[in-house]
Structures are given as C-alpha cells and as structure tokens.
Structure 1
Amino acid sequence: MRGTAISPSNHWHLHTQNSPIKQIDRTINLNPVVQFNKTQNPSNGRHPPLSFAINPSKTQTPITPNPGTSPPLVVFGSANADIYLEIERLPEEGETISAKTGQTLAGGKGANQAACGGKLSYPTYFLGQVGEDAHGKLIIEALENGAVRLDYLNTVAAAPTGHAVVMLQSDGQNSIIIVGGANMNCWPETISEEALEVVKNAGIILLQREIPDSVNIQVAKAARSAGVPVILDAGGMDAPFPQELLNFIDIFCPNESELSRLTGSPTESFELITQAVGKCHKMGVKQVLVKLGAKGSALFVEGEEPIKQPAISAAKVIDTTGAGDTFTAAFAVALVEGKSKKECLEFAAAAASLCVQVKGAIPSMPDRKSVLDLLHSQVTDLRHK
C-alpha cells in the first residue's frame, strides 16, 4: 500500500471554464467551474496555512506554502442537523426526563471535518448531500461561514437532511442517535466525473461511514488512481467494513470501541490495542490511527514502533461532540502540509483539546491561531518544569 508522505514541492494549476454541472436534483451554473491539474491549486482566496514548530529547539525545515499552491483537503461525507438536549443523565428504560435546554446546530461527521479544515485556514471542499429543508440551509450557512467550498454539494428533494439527537450530559459526555436522511439515500449509482476530478486533484481525502459504503469505495478508488492519500474515519454505521473499501485507504482512524468491533478483539490496554491493530494490518491497512479519548492517541505504521501522543488537558470539558472529527481533520491538515507524523499527532491533540471546551460540533472547531498558541504554551510549560 502506498505511504502517505506528501511532498510540499507539488504545485497545482487552476483552470476555469463556464459550463453547467448537472447534480442530482438540480443544475447549477458555476461561474467559473473549478477544475484542477497537478501544477497548482487554489487557496480559495484565503491566507496560506501557517507553519508551526512543535519543539523550536530542534532543527526543522519550515513549510510555508505560498498563496494559491496548497492542494485542498477534500471531505466526502455526511451532514446532519444536530438536535442538542442537555440532560443530567440518560433516562432509564420506560422513564421520561426533562432536558434543561435544547437547540439545533449544524453537524455530521463529514461536515464537522470540513468545517475544521476551513477553520484551520486550509483550503477545504465538502462533498455530500442535504435535503431541500431548513436543516439543509442551516448546514450550508455554517459551512460557508467556515470558508468551506460547497461547489459539489447536492441538494436532493426526495429525502430530508440527515439529523442527530445528541443527549449531552452534565459531565460533557454524550450519546447520539442518527437519522441518515439524505446522507444515506438518493445517491447516484455513479459519482459524477466533476466530483471525482476534485477528488483526484486533492492533497488528501477524508471519508467516514455515515454515507453508503458504495460511495466511499468509488471515492477511495479515484483517489488511489491519482496517488491521493485517503484517511477513513471509522465512525458511522455499525456494520462490517467491506474489504474493498479497506483495500483503497491509507490510514484507518478508529476509536477504541470501533477498533474492537471491527477486529472482534478487546482494547482495554495498550497491549490489547496493539494486537487489535495487528489484525487491521492483516486486512491490508498499513497505517492505523487510534483515538483513545482522554488517554490520547497512537499511530501504528506496520513494521514500525507505534507513535504515542498523550491528550492535552482541557481547562474544562463542556462537550465532547465533534472532538474525534476535529482530531482527524487537524491530523489531515498537518499531514498534507508536510509535517512529521509526531507533529501531526501533537497538532491534532491540541485542536481536540480546544474543541471539548465549547458546546456543539462545528461551533467548537478551533482556529489555527488558537491551536498554535496552545502548542506554544505546552512547549513553554515543559521548559519550565
């Protein structure tokens, strides 16, 4: 399986043409339509990503992309309206309890990860589906406000926007029930060539399992054919992973429980996690990034020693919703910017730490300056100890 090292010397060129793109239930004239080849890539008018040094005492080659040269993060996935209910505890069977508050916010694993990429000032595309309803408008507005490109987002008439009921407990932990809606229905049998062209010219692809496996497989195959690395977040449907999908991904990213379900192995200790990851390697996945919650994370590359990353403590945990998506997206952004694997883990840990301190998924995604400031403070604290 191809590795995921990204060369910062790759350049991309933007071509435009005035032509309609027919989507599932509508035709949109994009003026201009964005297409790419591998000589330069658009920055969408945003500031280029900032370089960062986790440990300034070490000699590093700083990577400072010029405007217009950063290959985009492309997220193909789900978008949900998250209906938040704040409760003291989960109800017992047959019990009715009252929620302290309730509100609806934009979310969904795909939209969360795209929003994180946008808030980290990295050029990001989101490709998915919403319904022709108020929830769809809510998601579109949230992503546009986060500077995410939605050129290939489909609006479908035959299914409502996906939504989720998030039961947020007083300790910040949550339980979630998802209704797939447009995320799981009305997809075309074959993904459009225009959408796959964006995939083939990306810097990195993020997938999750809140859309049909058949869609993910098409996207992963297109990415592999173009040499674009793919990260598959294991979150979503609780069903066996198709081997065909695993064959075309570069980094598999589960949490402990998802890793246990996939492999049928316990994950109560690091030794057991390592054994479970070994089963993933046998399935053909060479790199496994395991999210361990409060215990941090670890990246397992087949044939190498695992890289451990402790969690960065949060001042106060308000809401863990979206923390895993923040971690995955931040890792992807650092990776496509050419950071070392250790730096990617540190950057992702800092982003996730900031995420859990704010309620909501997309509203809690941190900006790049906040992440860099936290990393700097961590280095400063270590030096003073």
Structure 2
Amino acid sequence: MVERGRPQARRPFHGRGQDGAGVKRVLVIGNATVDVILSVRHLPAPGETVLAETEFRCAGGKGLNQAVAAARLGVPTTLVAALGEDADGRFLREALRPEPVQTGWLASPHPTDISIISIAAGGENAIVSTAASARWFSAQAAVAAASSLGAGDILILQGNLTEATTRAALRTARAREATTILNTAPIAWDQRGIAAEADIVVANAGEAESLTGFVDEAAALSLIEAGAGAAIVTRGANDALLADLASLVHLPVATVDVVDTSGAGDVTVGTLAGALALGRSLPDALALALAAASLSVTRRGTTPSFPTVEEMRRLVARA
C-alpha cells in the first residue's frame, strides 16, 4: 500500500514544456518480443493441457507495441529496445521496417525475448513472457536514450526494465522537461514508490490495486497522493478513470464485439502519448486512446490488430 500524504510541489497535470512549438516527439524505452499467439477454446486450468486451434507469430512486447501505436498517429516516434543476435531478433528488425518507427536496437547477449499468448474464444488471454534481454538493458543506456529528449517531448516506460533503469530514465527525462508516462505493467518489481517519478501513471484495475491496496476511484486518487501528476486506471470494457489533483473523471469505452484483448493496454498508452505529442489535452488524448483500443480488440493479434495509419487519421478526425 502506498504511503498517504500529498506531495507539496504537485499541481493538476498540464504537461511539461508545452510551448506550442508544433508536434513533439515520442520516445519509448522498453522491450520488444516475438509474440507466439495460440487460439484455444478455453484457458488451461492449473495442471490442464489444452490444444491450440491456431498459431501465429508477430512482433510484440509492450515497448514495441506502444511505439507502433504512437507512430501510426503520425508522430515522430523512436523505440529503444534490446534484441538478441538470433533469428527472433532478425524477425523483429524486419517486422519493424514497414512501420513509421525509428529504432535504436541494442545488441543483447541474451536470446530475444518472447511472449506466449493464449487467447480463449471470448477474447480473454493469458501471457507468459521471457525478459532476459529487457532486464539486461542498463541504466546507462536508458540515460543515453532519454538525454535526446527535449522540452515537451513524451517518454514512455513500462515495468519490463529493471527498477534502476526505469528510475534513471524517468529522472533524466524530467530534468529535460519531457513528459513522462509510466505504464506499470508488468509488475515485476516493487513499484509502490515510483509514482512520484512520473507525470502520468497508467495501470489497469488489477495493477492499481496491487500498487495501492485500493480499488477503482480510491486507487486512482492514491496514486495521485503518492506523487503522480495524473493517474489513469483502465477497467477493461467498463471505462477508464482519469485523476489529477483537481479532478477525477470517468471516460466511457465503446461497446464492441471483443475478439482478442492482447495489446489493448499498449494501444491505449501509445495512442495517449501520440495524442499528447500532437497537442491534445490529457482527457482528449485518453478518449482517442480508448477509441483506438476499442478498435484493436475486434481483431486478432497484437500489432496486427492495431489501427492502421489511415484508421488513426479517421479516429483523430472524429475525436
């Protein structure tokens, strides 16, 4: 449970370095994986073996996914991630070539990370990932990447990297007046004290409860009291909560026929960052992000399900 006690220096979130000087840049420091996606009738219970009906592979990983989503909005986007010198690493390099993402690949001595994603008929999923290359990503490398940020640029981080690497990147970015977004998934280390390092914390309902000991609105407000400039708690098909020191609002989620929820949170985070880089307000950026995620869950896969560049243009025009 986070310690109660409101920080003195916080104000309602308005973004850092937003000087109106055009479109800003998004930098994603995170992981990249080969996703092996298995369609199953139901997710296996402990000790149960089930047979997959289909299998396919695609580019994935929270960092890669978020970078693709931001870039498809037309925002200058860079992904810095570690890949092994192996067939999976080559697969990911080739998979990103058609995407409007600038890449800074680090050569890891470990195998390229993979995720095994089982998807049930109703769209629910269970994911197991390796993280040796992501955990190898050093604090020094993160500082070097974050040092390229300018005032008003956006940095996205997730829970895949080590605590030391994550904190180093956040502090470097904030010193350069960039806006920092921390997506808490996966919770691989104790993140309860890191909210104060981030301008925006994004967590799903389960993660928010794990971090704060509270649920729903109380969880969002607890993240603010812990020091986050703004907190977003996504609640699946229900809605999303957006809180800062001035307000707490509910944003609706469109009702759709769900096929596969894999990557929905990443679409949300990446589109949110891209919309902020385009100059949208935080509520407007989140509304656009939720619309993009609602479209992605109607299709199978992670990056293959994300809105295309043209679909993003249409979403922006309607938002």
- TM-score, normalization by structure 2: 0.90
Aligned partners of 2:174, 2:139: CA distance in 1, in Å?
Answer: 20
1:159 aligns with 110
Aligned partners of 1:199, 1:237: CA distance in 2, in Å?
Answer: 26
Q: Does 1:305 align with 2:264?
A: no
What is the CA-CA distance between 1:353 and the residue it aligns to? Answer: 1.0
Aligned partners of 2:144, 2:188: CA distance in 1, in Å?
Answer: 31
Deviations 1:219-260 (A, max 9, x none): 1011111111101001113432162x3332101100000000
1:246 aligns with 195
Aligned partners of 1:338, 1:192: CA distance in 2, in Å?
Answer: 25
Q: Contact 1:74–1:125 (CA<8 Å) still a contact in 2?
A: yes
Aligned partners of 1:189, 1:240: CA distance in 2, in Å?
Answer: 17
Q: Contact 1:112–1:361 (CA<8 Å) still a contact in 2?
A: yes
Aligned partners of 1:202, 1:249: CA distance in 2, in Å?
Answer: 14
Cα distance change on mapping 1:253 and 1:311 into 2, 3 Å: same
Aligned partners of 1:166, 1:208: CA distance in 2, in Å?
Answer: 19
Structure number with larger C-alpha Rg: 1
Q: Does 1:170 align with 2:180?
A: no
Q: Contact 1:290–1:298 (CA<8 Å) still a contact in 2?
A: yes
Cα distance change on mapping 1:85 and 1:258 into 2, 3 Å: same
User: Which runs of 5 or more residues in structure 1 are unaligned?
Assistant: 12-64, 268-272, 380-385
Cα distance change on mapping 1:9 and 1:190 into 2, 3 Å: closer
Q: Contact 1:83–1:165 (CA<8 Å) still a contact in 2?
A: yes
Q: Contact 2:147–2:173 (CA<8 Å) still a contact in 1?
A: no
Query: Which amino acid in 1 is paired with 2:299?
Result: V
1:350 aligns with 291
Q: Contact 2:31–2:161 (CA<8 Å) still a contact in 1?
A: yes
Query: Which amino acid in 2 is paired with 1:77?
Result: G
Q: Does 1:280 align with 2:223?
A: yes
Query: Which amino acid in 1 is paired with 2:107?
Result: T
Q: Contact 1:121–1:367 (CA<8 Å) still a contact in 2?
A: no
What is the CA-CA distance between 1:8 and the residue it aligns to? Answer: 5.9
Cα distance change on mapping 1:6 and 1:372 into 2, 3 Å: farther
2:50 aligns with 97
1:84 counterpart SS class = strand
Aligned partners of 1:178, 1:330: CA distance in 2, in Å?
Answer: 23
Aligned partners of 1:188, 1:329: CA distance in 2, in Å?
Answer: 23
Cα distance change on mapping 1:111 and 1:352 into 2, 3 Å: same
Aligned partners of 1:4, 1:80: CA distance in 2, in Å?
Answer: 33
2:204 aligns with 255
2:58 counterpart SS class = strand
Query: Which amino acid in 2 is paired with 1:365?
Result: F
Cα distance change on mapping 1:96 and 1:306 into 2, 3 Å: same
Counterparts of residues 149-228 of structure 1 (less than 5 Å): 149-150=102-103, 152-156=104-108, 158-185=109-136, 187-188=137-138, 190-191=140-141, 194-200=144-150, 203-228=153-178
Aligned partners of 1:242, 1:263: CA distance in 2, in Å?
Answer: 7
Q: CA RMSD, aligned part only?
A: 2.1
Higher relative contact order (CA 8 A, sep 6+): 2
Q: Contact 1:213–1:242 (CA<8 Å) still a contact in 2?
A: no
Aligned partners of 2:310, 2:250: CA distance in 1, in Å?
Answer: 24
Aligned partners of 1:6, 1:197: CA distance in 2, in Å?
Answer: 16
Counterparts of residues 302-341 of structure 1 (less than 5 Å): 302=245, 304-314=246-256, 316-341=257-282
Q: Contact 1:350–1:371 (CA<8 Å) still a contact in 2?
A: no
- TM-score, normalization by structure 1: 0.75
Aligned partners of 1:180, 1:287: CA distance in 2, in Å?
Answer: 28
Counterparts of residues 57-206 of structure 1 (less than 5 Å): 65=22, 70-150=23-103, 152-156=104-108, 158-185=109-136, 187-188=137-138, 190-191=140-141, 194-200=144-150, 203-206=153-156
Query: Which amino acid in 1 is paired with 2:176?
Result: A
* Identity across the alignment (%): 28
Deviations 1:65-110 (A, max 9, x none): 5xxxx32100010111111111001223332221101122111100
What is the CA-CA distance between 1:365 and the residue it aligns to? Answer: 1.5
User: Which runs of 5 or more residues in structure 2 are unaligned?
Assistant: 1-9
What is the CA-CA distance between 1:194 and the residue it aligns to? Answer: 4.3
Deviations 1:48-74 (A, max 9, x none): xxxxxxxxxxxxxxxxx5xxxx32100
Cα distance change on mapping 1:223 and 1:374 into 2, 3 Å: closer
Q: Contact 1:130–1:162 (CA<8 Å) still a contact in 2?
A: yes
What is the CA-CA distance between 1:342 and the residue it aligns to? Answer: 2.6
Cα distance change on mapping 1:9 and 1:283 into 2, 3 Å: closer
Query: Which amino acid in 2 is paired with 1:337?
Result: L
Q: Contact 1:354–1:371 (CA<8 Å) still a contact in 2?
A: no
